[in-house]
Structure 1
């Protein structure tokens, strides 16, 4: 019979099993750390933490990941997160309570209308290094197909049934060969705004419907600095504004169904 003092023998099967256990443990730690790239470190809102101590947990927040882009952003490492403390307030006094907008959520860019602090430079095409999203008036060789409705010169009807303006041009993505924005001149000719193409519908007659915002909200949409160029930051602001309108455009949209 084997004695009471016997060494554990290691064979190939046992070694592979223990190696798998070690690999799986390291993999779980690595995945948990990688999952902290967004939203961490947490900022405590407990009264016992008056200094709002950042919370990372274990394992800690991973180091910044640097992407080698075709057109590098020189300001990416110095960009700070937006301070939303004056734009939101807790719905109740307990820690972790939902945050409610204190003003115009769509214009403030909070909640569903939030946007990212992207680079304030245009997205460039790979072949010629020029801005890839431009209006048709500045894109020689790009035209609307004969079988497709052309909304230029057609009215834009918004959520409240009002005519908010007229489409004056279309913005094309030269790399993807797709229309990205409608350029709308607001009623009264006060200003021009860009409306995301995928948040608009065009009927056979060319009439455009934008149900995410009202006429007044369309006229107050974020603008662009240059008439024939849109930056990555401006794209995010425009898309967030009109997308957030599906929740914030009217009080009824943000209220519960029952």
Structure 2
């Protein structure tokens, strides 16, 4: 037998190769299972009359594992999914996966570009436990750079060209050191938050294409002034996202 041979038909290189194949297959299986700790089992809507069919796929979901969170609490995943909120939409056809058509006000239906995740109804925090998002009025040492336009006091113009309100404040993300929201005072009702990525700011105005002026009154309001929770952020972003499709009837029509 030659160097490295174990038997006349098996050598060390062959054993190492087979061991690598077994290790790699186990690694892929492990990673696929760990990837199913959130969102599984899936549910099929193949039948509107029969109970929804749970789908795990291959490999099956892993056994629950408990994680310790930064705030001292713990969470075990995977865990039984909570009962879904009633869907304010209906399928556009009888086949599985048919697009959903909103019922009632499409801006409030929570489907399509207006969908959102049921995140925790608590404020996000920085590494030291302080609220991550706060308005400038309660923060010392933060301000608008001298080279950038200060939107406070500027009118907010909706997609219809009408004035929706006036910017009164900026909200700072203390973890990322940037502005996340503009606080807009409406002619009637409480002030609302405008995600800054939906705004275009110049020296004279703030333009918003996703909403018409009168639709700003429907932006989800904050439960506590000077605090915004993760769930409130989801709903605010979803409302502006819904406007990109549902703000005007013509946005739902084909381009051609």
**TM-score computed with the length of structure 2 as normaliser:** 0.85
Structure 2 CA distance for partners of 1:40 and 1:74, relative to 1, 3 Å: closer
Partner of residue 153, structure 1: 153
- Asked whether 1:182 is paired with 2:182, we answer yes
**The residue matched to 1:183 in structure 2 has which SS?**
strand
Superposed CA offset, 1:173-220 (max 9, x none) = 12222111000011x232210001111011123x10111111122121
Q: Unpaired segments of 5 or more residues in structure 1?
A: 1-6
Partner of residue 26, structure 1: 26
Deviation at 1:17, TM superposition (A): 1.5
Superposed CA offset, 1:125-165 (max 9, x none) = 223x2212111111122122222211111100011111000
**Structure with a larger share of its residues in strand:** 2
> In 1, Cα distance between the equivalents of 2:252 and 2:178?
32
- Asked whether 1:228 is paired with 2:226, we answer yes
CA RMSD of aligned residues (A): 2.6
Q: How many residues align?
A: 249
Superposed CA offset, 1:33-57 (max 9, x none) = 3444454322232339712221222
Structure 2 CA distance for partners of 1:176 and 1:86, relative to 1, 3 Å: closer
What does 1:61-100 align with in structure 2 at a 5 Å threshold? 61-63=61-63, 66-72=66-72, 81=82, 83-100=84-101
Q: Unpaired segments of 5 or more residues in structure 2?
A: 1-6
Say if 1:79 and 1:117, in contact at 8 Å, map to a contact too.
no
Partner of residue 102, structure 1: 103
Partner of residue 241, structure 1: 239
- Asked whether 1:164 is paired with 2:164, we answer yes
> In 2, Cα distance between the equivalents of 1:72 and 1:191?
35
**TM-score computed with the length of structure 1 as normaliser:** 0.85
Partner of residue 3, structure 1: none
**The residue matched to 1:47 in structure 2 has which SS?**
coil
